Structure 1
Amino acid sequence: MEHDSLLTRARLLPVSVVSDADKSLPTLDHGIRRLAGGGTIAGRAVTVRSDGDLLPVMEGLEIAQPGDVLVVDASANPGVAVAGGLFATEARRRGLSAIVVDGLVRDLETLRPLGFTVYARGTCPRSGPAVAVPRTQLPIRCGGVDITPGALVLGDDDGVLVATADQLAAVLDAAEAIDRREEAVLARLAEGTSLFDSMNFHAHRENVRTGTPSKLGFTV
């Protein structure tokens, strides 16, 4: 299946249901959280290794294509910001999906109204220098996850998940089915129906107690 088709389908889903469809798919450390933007983002990773230096991030931004996610490992120097309002505004102009930083960013007053997704561990007003030889499009480790150039990156308010194209293709049908079931359960809850009436909780609990193979699930 074409990458673009996979990403289009993924953008319609909460990242949590993709994770539920295959809990082995890696997710970035929960300390990397969304500071700006909304909805589900999905794109190919353009990778950057930045030891707190801006030049590698700028090269990554320059080579990134529409829809890509700029993923930056800045964990080696966590005391400075390696992206901010200018970089995010340029990323948005170029049509990128998001910037993900294992490190710090700045300029929240610019980022928040921009409508562009930025993930980071936090903020700092001090930026790094721009003197390092750029290292881009190489394997990096971001938020405890090994990421290679072109890996598929999905994110929403819950966090960031990484998958290969084959992994995402293998779980999308199941993820879409989970999403439909959860929407049906939410609709029933809104009508006043108990959550437990939409699940096999009681039977599953008894099976767990007796050692009978079982799986918790929806009944709608």
Structure 2
Amino acid sequence: MKYATTDLCDTFENEVHVLDPIFQSYGGHARFHGQIVTLKLFEDNSLVRQTLGENGQGKVLVVDGGGSRRCALLGDQLGELAVKNGWAGLVIDGCVRDSAALGQLPLGVKALATHPRKSVKLGSGQKDLPVRIAGCDIAPGQWLYADEDGVIVAERERA
């Protein structure tokens, strides 16, 4: 990728929003970007699985998991599903598991922490609605850029 979040912030200072620096990188790609698809859920990754099973070409999945640190919303199997369907990456306001395996996948993954416990599977959650995570309002269709220096959101494609 030819962009850097620092350069995008410098060039488009009034047009990008910076997420609070609360995320760790767990995927094999530290840099990723794409058009945003949003999910809002709590300790149930059923909708994560369903969404990652769809075509994700050029997209980033942003998961408002309510900041829960009591279970993981993504593991290696869902990571492999994301790669298979072309997703550029995920930003999860929650935890992941199987971090060593996720680190080997050609996928960007930002999350709060790791947790060995899997989530429940109740089929709850909502898709494609505005969410607020890490101090930033995020809407479906916006663009997310992530690298070693941070995560930013823009109204339109900037790279």
TM-score, with normalisation over the residues of structure 1?
A: 0.67
- In proportion to residue count, which structure has more helix? 1
What is the number of equivalent residue pairs in this alignment?
158
Aligned equivalent of 2:83, options 92, 104, 110:
92
Identity of aligned residues (%): 30
Residues 57-87 of structure 1 deviation map (CA, whole Å, 9 limit, x = unaligned): 1232234521210110112533211011111
Stretches of structure 2 lacking an aligned partner (at least 5 in a row): none
* Displacement after TM superposition at 1:39 (Å): 5.0
* Displacement after TM superposition at 1:112 (Å): 1.2
Whether 2:76 is the aligned partner of 1:82: answer no
**Do 1:38 and 1:116's aligned partners in 2 also have CA atoms closer than 8 Å?**
yes
Secondary structure in 2 aligned to 1:92? helix
Between the aligned partners of 1:61 and 1:90, the Cα distance in structure 2 is: 6
Aligned equivalent of 1:110, options 101, 110, 116:
101
Between the aligned partners of 1:116 and 1:79, the Cα distance in structure 2 is: 24
Q: Which structure's relative contact order is higher, taking Cα pairs within 8 Å and 6+ residues apart? A: 2
Whether 2:21 is the aligned partner of 1:35: answer no
- In proportion to residue count, which structure has more strand? 2
Residue 47 and residue 18 in structure 1: after superposition, are their counterparts in 2 closer, same or farther (change >3 A)? same
Give the residue type in structure 1 aligned to 2:9: S
**Do 2:129 and 2:140's aligned partners in 1 also have CA atoms closer than 8 Å?**
yes
TM-score, with normalisation over the residues of structure 2?
A: 0.90
Secondary structure in 1 aligned to 2:35? strand
Secondary structure in 2 aligned to 1:125? coil
Between the aligned partners of 2:99 and 2:126, the Cα distance in structure 1 is: 26
Stretches of structure 1 lacking an aligned partner (at least 5 in a row): 1-10, 173-220
- Taking only aligned residues, the RMSD between alpha carbons, in angstroms, comes to 1.7
Aligned equivalent of 1:149, options 129, 140, 143:
140
Q: Computing the radius of gyration over CA atoms, which structure comes out larger, 1 or 2? A: 1
Residue 109 and residue 33 in structure 1: after superposition, are their counterparts in 2 closer, same or farther (change >3 A)? closer
Return structure 1 stretches of 4+ with deviation > 3 angstroms: none
**Do 2:142 and 2:153's aligned partners in 1 also have CA atoms closer than 8 Å?**
yes
